[in-house]
Amino acid sequence: MENGITKRQSAILQGAAIWMMVYHHLYSFAVEYGSLLPFMQVDTVQRIGWFCKLCVGIFAFVSGYGMYYVLDRQPREGFWDRLLREYRCVLGRILKLYGKLWLVLLIYMGILFGILGLPFDPAQLLGNLTALNPTYNGAWWYVEQYAKMLLALPLLDLLLTRFTRPGEEKCKWIFYLTLGLLGGGAVLAGRLWLPGLWTLAVAVKDGLRISFLLVFVAGYLIARYGLWQRVDKVLRRRGGWLPVCLSVALLGAVIALRTMLATDAAYAKLDFLFAPLFSYGVLTLLSRVPPLGAFLAWWGKQSTYIWLVHGFLYGWLYYLIRPHVRLDIWVYLAVLLASAVVSLLLQALTGIPGRLVRRQSRKGDKNPGKREGIPE
């Protein structure tokens, strides 16, 4: 990772996170499930489910990391001009996600009201359209949080740009001070159980949860100051199996600590540390296992739609399949595969307009070599 996290590596992390998300939703709350594998006790299955809540932190970390590079491409001239450009960029990202949400919602409404004939509630529909009160699918709660994190990012980016420039050694303290203050606030909030400190009332409902903002900002700052590149450079000098051994140790420590600390009542408070460390360990190990990396990268490309639709599938698939199998692993795999199939269908559906435009463009331009400005 001498050049930081690539798009493919981001997809690998998202692929791992979506497997964790489906597991978390299947096995963290239910009381009727059995053993996932022959050697696993029910309590172990549930504890792994609590650990897999780290998937939210991984998604937030990858988003924050990638958004640094998105915003860094914006021209730097003029404070207010740059701020407006960054907000246009951020709003585009938010609308892209909401567009996918609305497509899934439209299909669900067609089934709910058109086929099943259930009563229509305008207030409930509005809550789901905005993701402020996602009663149709509980997994949609993160849409609102994601939007709020993105809306906060240009202010942070301009604040740091105003006082420092990337590459200036003397201003690294801003990174450590920012992360330290945010981390200290999170730990303090978790220890003292102060809801007002733990949750920022940014808009309506729950507001922007600091625990997720922390991970998002950690990703942004790690990308901005190239911390992973620096760590990778140091480890490469040592050579040998040190990166692998360190990664195994990191993964073991994160899994053990988060499994012990994470309960349904207290999760995510230290994910601003766990998510980056876990991600580093995963990518370092998978760099030596390319087939597994390619497998997870494919799932990462499907992760958005799987996130948006799996909540509709896992309930009825569980009760449809579970009575006929001995182990819950088959239910888990069935939910993943069904969600992936739906994701592929939705991607094909959204790709139709683009294909039609390209087809019409080719029909209207049978001799592209004759176009003005293009030599024969």
- pLDDT at residue 197 in the model: 42
CA distance 344 to 19: 16
Between 261 and 96, residue with greater pLDDT: 96
Task: Please report, for the chain, the start and end positions of each structural domain, with discontinuous segments joined by +.
Answer: 7-363
Report which of residues 24 and 372 the model is more confident about. 24
Give the Cα separation of 186 and 216 in Å (integer).
14
Q: What is the pLDDT of residues 149-196, one digit of tens each?
A: 999 898 888 777 765 555 544 555 665 566 566 666 555 554 444 444
Q: In this model, does residue 20 exceed pLDDT 90?
A: yes
Q: What backbone phi and psi angles, to 5 degrees, belong to 209?
A: -75, 125
Q: How far apart are CA 267 and CA 261, in angstroms?
A: 7
Residue tagged 């030596």 (tokens):
288
pLDDT for the residue numbered 230? 87
Cα(103)–Cα(84) distance, integer angstroms: 28
Distance CA 94, CA 372 (A): 38
Nearest to 66 by CA among 302, 354, 308, 300: 300
Distances (CA, A) of 236 to 108, 169, 230: 50, 22, 10
Q: Pick the residue with more confidence: 199 or 227? A: 227
Q: Measuring CA to CA, how many Å separate 244 from each of 228, 281, 285, 288, 295? A: 15, 8, 6, 9, 20
- Cα separation of 218 and 210, whole Å? 12
Residue (of 15, 7, 44, 6) closest to 255 by Cα position = 44
Q: What is the CA radius of gyration of the chain?
A: 23
The pLDDT value given to residue 198: 41
Q: In this structure, what DSSP letter does residue 76 have? A: -
Token pair, residue 204, equals 């309506």
Core vs surface per residue 223-241: b (16+ CB within 10 A) or e: bbbbbbbebbeebeeeeee
Contact indicator for 152, 210 with CB cutoff of 8 Å: no
pLDDT digits (tens, 9 = 90+) for 266-297: 556 788 889 999 999 999 999 889 999 999 99
Confidence band of 368 (pLDDT split at 50, 70, 90): very low
pLDDT in the model for residue 140: 93
How confident is the model over 55-111, as pLDDT tens digits? Answer: 999 999 999 999 999 988 888 777 778 888 999 999 999 999 999 999 999 999 888
pLDDT bracket for residue 129 (50, 70, 90): very high
Rounded distance, CA 353 to CA 99, Å? 14
Residue 30 has pLDDT above 90, yes or no: no
Structural contact between residues 301 and 294, judged by C-beta atoms closer than 8 angstroms: no
Ranges of beta strands (E only) in the chain are: 199-200, 208-209
Query: So what's the pLDDT on residue 323?
Result: 81
Residue 4, token pair as written in the block: 């930081």
Predicted pLDDT at 321: 86
- Taking alpha carbons only, the member of 372, 340, 356, 347 closest to residue 18 is 340
- The predicted pLDDT at position 150 comes to 93
